Amino acid sequence: MRFALNDEEVAKTKERMARMESEFYDAEMAYVLFRTDPDVVKRIIPQPLKPSDQPYATALVAKYPKTNFGSVYNEAALLVTVEYGGETGGYCLAMPVTEDMALIMGREILGFPKKIAEEISLARTENGVRGRCVRRGVELMNLSMPFEEEVEPEKAVEMLRTLSGQEGGEGWEAIAYNFKFFLSPRLTDFDYKPRLLKQVTTFRPSSRIKLGSNFDLKLKSSEADPLAEIPFKEPVMGMYGTFNNTMHPGEVVAEVEEDQFRRYAFFKQDYLPQ
């Protein structure tokens, strides 16, 4: 890598990036779906997103030991289920990671609200799995899931498709909706109208998947990370296993007015201007 590429290198890089998809190999993941408060979801999602018929939220803890873009890192995430244009997806509220390049690629390119955490761990226990995320000294997420049964990869994909209303395909296509925006240098407005991005990741289980519906999830807040604003009402489904995932390029599907979006523009940073 150099500070400036020559013309030939620019052309080759542009060509490679145009067809690049991020691959995650042997990803160890714990994924849980739970019911939350529909009034909270309605309050925190920007237009043109709409609440889904079911007030679901998702928490995730993952370890990525190998990727095709050179990053090895751990990740946690919190999303609420929304709809846009008749399609169900997840509006991402938090996505702490443990590596700076994963943060930059996910946040600056695709709008994921990534921040660096000092600890994200996922570990097997005697009868289940535990995951946690600690950022700035606060344990923001603690997940404990005992295993109840084990299913073939195809069955796990079928279950995920049913919950999201999908049909067919080689895996489960998880749709993420993020808003990409940058505050202006003067901090009083935006560099451009905030853009709603749609991004799809294909999840492919590579081994039998363990299920657990009686998981326990504790979400806490700090001054910088308000995860506890999402109430944990009732567990719906939990999965744990190893996956090979493909993260596809995103696309801009809408723009929103600055004044309409401004109230949602600060949860990606650690301070609110006083």
- pTM (2 decimals)? 0.94
Nearest to 120 by CA among 135, 138, 105: 135
CA dihedral for 34, 129, 226, 270, sign (positive or negative): negative
Nearest to 58 by CA among 85, 31, 38: 31
- Pair type for strands 87-97 and 172-180: parallel
**Amino acid letter for position 272:** L
**Full pLDDT tens readout for the chain, 274 residues:** 689 999 999 998 888 877 779 999 999 999 999 999 999 999 999 999 999 999 999 999 999 999 999 999 999 999 999 999 999 999 999 999 999 999 999 999 999 999 999 999 999 999 999 999 999 999 999 999 999 999 999 999 999 998 887 776 778 999 999 999 999 998 889 999 999 999 999 999 999 999 999 999 999 999 999 999 999 999 999 999 999 999 999 999 999 999 999 999 988 888 876 6
Q: Tell me how far apart the alpha carbons of residues 91 and 77 are, in angstroms, rounded to a whole number.
A: 11
CATH, range 22-172+205-243: 2.40.400.10
pLDDT averaged over every residue in the chain: 94
Nearest to 120 by CA among 131, 108, 109: 131
Q: Where are the domains of the chain?
A: 22-172+205-243
